[in-house]
Amino acid sequence: MKGLGWSEDERLLVVSYDGTVRCYYDLQGEFTQFSLGREAEDFGVNSCRFYDHGMVALLTNNALVTVSSYDEPRPKLLATPPDGEIHSWTIISPSCTLSRSVEVLLSIAKTIYVVDATDCEDRLLDIGPFSHISASPNGKFVALYAADGKTHVITSDFQDRLSEYNSKSQITPKYLQWCGNDAVVIAWEDEVNLVGPNSAVASFVYEGRVHVIDGKIYAA
């Protein structure tokens, strides 16, 4: 299994390495099925990202395949990313982009590439690579966690850098997620840093292991 997600109407999506997608629509194991296409069959799926009614699959050859509707799945290749290791990636939902199509953010080398249906643009950063990328729920901001332990919050058009927070940690966090549209959660095994506007930070240490799901913190 290379991807597991939910649609807005609470269907469970399960993606296999060969690009087979199963949509489970009840608790009895009933499902519909479709394929991400020949490219996925030939090269295999590396990982997936989901939004309310669609998904994007990153293939092992760095190609990106998108499906904009689970009811009428028509897999399409996005613009071709450059060669190189992808350190992390995320998507911005079509409901939050000017083009009304999904955008993919890729960390390659020290910069970020933004990929859509027709273009792949280098945002000309020099502070990467980034182990984590997270877009805010409204799509206006992006949080980046760099190898030097710094978290950068910038606008999603990459025109303005809003804040920078240095965790001073030599350990890569498990999670970097948005908590609403105003704060970023950085979580390790048992510690959480909550970074707000103007780099204001609140730190919490837990006895159990920390999990962050959709911006909510759980300790077990």
Residue 84 token pair: 């190189």
In DSSP notation, 1-64 reads: --EEEE-TT--EEEE-TTSEEEEE-STT--EEEEE--HHHHHH-EEEEEE-SS-EEEEETTS-E
**In whole angstroms, what is the distance from residue 25 CA to residue 172 CA?**
36
HSE value, Cβ hemisphere, 13 Å, CA-based, for 106: 28
The pLDDT of residue 214: 87
What digits encode the pLDDT tens for the residues 169-201? 999 999 999 999 999 999 999 999 999 988 899
**How far apart are the C-alpha atoms of 134 and 39, rounded to whole Å?**
27
16-34 tens-digit pLDDT: 999 999 999 887 889 999 9
pLDDT at site 168? 93
Instruction: Give residue 38's pLDDT.
Output: 97
Structure confidence at residue 68 as a pLDDT band (50, 70, 90): very high
